[in-house]
Amino acid sequence: MPDHFRRLRRRDLTYLLSIGNRSNSKHLSLVYANSVSGCAVVVSKKIAKTSVQRHRLKRQLFAVCRASTLPTKSLVLFARKGAETLTYKDLFEETNTLFNDLMRYNTSTKP
């Protein structure tokens, strides 16, 4: 499995949250940095009350990450209110919008 599909470890996640940059959409929040390549998904109990709902949303977001062309960065996706009601197609579109903004930001800041 390529590195950018790898799930981040807890220590990588903690480090990333302390140094990472943020990008937000209506239902998702993305934290990213140039550290170890990988992906993590966080769905709190505030967003999805049952573990079944949380795990379903996590699986869908990981599937979106695998299906998308990801930049080789550390990424953490946080689900926000209303994300549990979205279809896979809506999650895919919103996540790709965040990834496209991230890639556009990175190309515009290079010298």
Give tens-digit pLDDT for 87-111. 999 999 999 899 888 877 665 444 4
Checking DSSP bridges between strand 38-42 and strand 74-79, what pairing results, if any? parallel
Q: How many CB atoms lie within 10 A of CB 97?
A: 14
Percent of the chain with pLDDT over 90: 41
Residue 40 is predicted with a pLDDT of: 87
Model pTM? 0.80
* Residue 35: pLDDT over 80: no
Cα angle 1, 24, 79; round to 5: 60
pLDDT-wise least confident of 21-30, 42-51, 72-81 = 72-81
Domains along the chain with CATH numbers:
3-100 (3.30.230.10)
Confidence of residue 5 (pLDDT cuts 50, 70, 90): low
Q: What span, in angstroms and rounded, lies between the C-alpha atoms of 109 and 32?
A: 15
R_g of the chain, CA atoms, integer Å: 13
